[in-house]
Amino acid sequence: MNFFLVSLYVLGAISVLIALGLTFISLIGYKQEKTDVKFHGNALVIVPCRGLDLTLRDNIDSLKRQKYGNYSLMAVVDQSDDPSVDILKSLDVDYLVADFPCSKCSGKVRAIATAITRFGDFDAYVIADSDIMARENWLEKLLDPLGDLKHGASTTFPYFNPVGGVWARIKLVWGFVGLGMMESGITRFGWGGSLAFRKDIFRDGDFEFFCEFISDDIAITKICKKNKLDIAYVPEAQPLINSSDDMSTFMEWANRQTALSISSSDSVFTYGIIFYGLTIFLFLWAILASIFIWHLFLLLLIPTVTNGIKSARRTRKGKVSSTLISIFIPFLYFYNLIAAHHMKQITWRGRTYDLQKFH
């Protein structure tokens, strides 16, 4: 009996410490980074296109209407008969057919490399996914940090606007995990949907490294770290991605994104398992302990409540549903980590890539 009581006291003390730690993490506010020196160079916005994204016409049109004056827009397709070509022509957007020779790269990396090698006289390059819808100041805000030479790249993270059912809304809240990672310089990465970088980040062998990588954003992130250059986070440049996911498309997307993150760094899996494992443990322990031991154990749900409030604040519509979904996101993300850890291949826009080659 004494051993049982001691075990409960120890478990209770550990759970309180975990709750305090998770609450502290959830309450850390993001401090906006200020840049005094603005970027004024010429920029090439590269838009790899494959197939018809939801609201593709509006997405491309938003990239045409940027306030930043000194830029060119170039789409890149795999083949001249790609379904996106008709829309590009109707919007009078220039496009290239990707032809850069690489053996291990993804189709997106080949598209970007094609544009960079064809147009090497720009001061900065901007990668824009064809599924983003950008405000008119998106490019200006994204480029501004590059005026400070300590920044090799700048990035943001999207708002997954749910236009479908429940899984589209789950994707919205799942995406808040990425927002949290962006807000910390330790976990920040370059998100390839909106990623600007100066031409001079490529040093000895860096462009060749980029051209043989599966993920453009992970490659740019690694190059910046190697060359001791910061990646700026620009929340004001956040684009919109209209999402109509069902369960199948969401799980494929979430597992692929997680697998790519794990392939970039083993610590992503380790830290993720620890963080979300502790979050799940605390949630379940708080409920069971409050039922069978003492109702005040419900106070251990404070981290869950604060994360729910944070999700509600980040949500533009449907705040209640986002708050409820946030309770289960740790379980889902924990599953994604386990599933992705065992993935040897990913399927991306109809093509299969071997992850083992890109560790």
Q: For residue range 45-69, what is the model confidence (pLDDT) as tens digits?
A: 999 999 999 899 999 999 999 999 8
The confidence band for 357, taking pLDDT boundaries of 50, 70 and 90, is: very low
Angle (nearest 5°) at CA 39 between 158 and 109: 50
Do the Cβ atoms of 195 and 227 come closer than 8 Å? no
Round the average pLDDT of the chain to a whole number and report it.
89
- The residue written with tokens 């549903």 in the block is 321
Q: What's residue 5's pLDDT? A: 62
Mean pLDDT confidence for 225-233: 94
Helix, coil or strand: residue 303:
helix
Return the minimum-mean-pLDDT range out of 233-242, 315-324, 338-347. Answer: 338-347
| Tokens representing residue 344 in the block | 């040897």
Mean pLDDT confidence for 212-218: 88
Identify the bridge partners of residue 240 per DSSP, sorted by sequence position.
133, 159
Residue % of the chain over a pLDDT of 90: 67
Pairing type for strands 345-348 and 151-155 reads unpaired
The confidence band for 103, taking pLDDT boundaries of 50, 70 and 90, is: confident
For 45, other C-beta atoms within 10 Å of its C-beta total 27
Q: Is the pLDDT at 243 greater than 60, yes or no? A: yes
Q: What's residue 359's pLDDT? A: 43
140-195 residue pLDDT tens: 999 999 999 999 999 999 999 999 889 999 999 999 988 888 887 778 889 999 99
Q: What's residue 27's pLDDT? A: 64
Q: Is the pLDDT at 3 greater than 90, yes or no? A: no
Topology (CATH) of 43-156+191-243? Spore Coat Polysaccharide Biosynthesis Protein SpsA; Chain A (3.90.550)
Domain with CATH 3.90.550.10 in the chain: 43-156+191-243
Mean pLDDT confidence for 3-25: 69
Nearest to 45 by CA among 23, 20, 19, 74: 74
Mean pLDDT confidence for 294-322: 91
Do the Cβ atoms of 283 and 19 come closer than 8 Å? no
Mean pLDDT confidence for 2-12: 63
pTM equals 0.90
Q: What's residue 61's pLDDT? A: 97
25-52 residue pLDDT tens: 666 655 666 767 789 999 999 999 999 9
Return the minimum-mean-pLDDT range out of 177-181, 206-210, 301-305, 349-353. Answer: 349-353
Identify the bridge partners of residue 95 per DSSP, sorted by sequence position.
75
Alpha-carbon distance 341 to 170, whole Å? 21
The confidence band for 358, taking pLDDT boundaries of 50, 70 and 90, is: very low
Q: Is the pLDDT at 81 greater than 90, yes or no? A: yes
Instruction: Estimate the share of the chain in helix, then strand, then coil, as percent rounded to the nearest 5.
Output: 55, 15, 30
Q: Is the pLDDT at 9 greater than 50, yes or no? A: yes
